[in-house]
Amino acid sequence: MTRYPDLRNRTSEFFKTTAAHYGALVKGGTPPTLAMELASEKAELDFMRAGKLSPDGGNKGDRERDRLARINAQSGGGGPRRPAADETDDDQLTAEQKQIARGMGITEEAYLKRAKAGVRMGGGRTNAR
């Protein structure tokens, strides 16, 4: 069961294929424990040949979903900036934010406007050589 978790789901296609192979093996005189092992391996081979399972054991759909998740994680989200858990939607600045505004030499309103705009990272040219 640890090698073939789909065998826990009696409605899965893998379970049904394994059951068919198991029945044929037991009918032919193979001991039940050996028949189960052989049947699940035969079902795995059938799925690989049909392209439903990759040789490393992962489903094609799972591998594609994982690949897309990695792409999205590396892309930086691409959407609007989401506030952090400690940020509020109101127009009140924390004491630390007020101190930062004073340190930047700008008004609290200017700091708030800048903070709400988020960070824009442009791909502008530089003259660095």
Closest CA to 89 of 64, 56, 115: 115
Mean pLDDT for the chain overall: 79
Mean predicted confidence (pLDDT) in 43-67 = 75
What is d(CA 62, CA 6) in angstroms, rounded to the nearest whole number? 14
What average pLDDT does this structure show over 47-57? 77
47-82 burial: b if 16+ Cβ within 10 Å, else e:
beeeeebeeeeeeeeeeeeeeeeeeeeeeeeeeeee
Q: What's the pLDDT tens digit per position in 6-19?
A: 889 999 999 999 99
The tokens describing 27, both together, are 């009918």
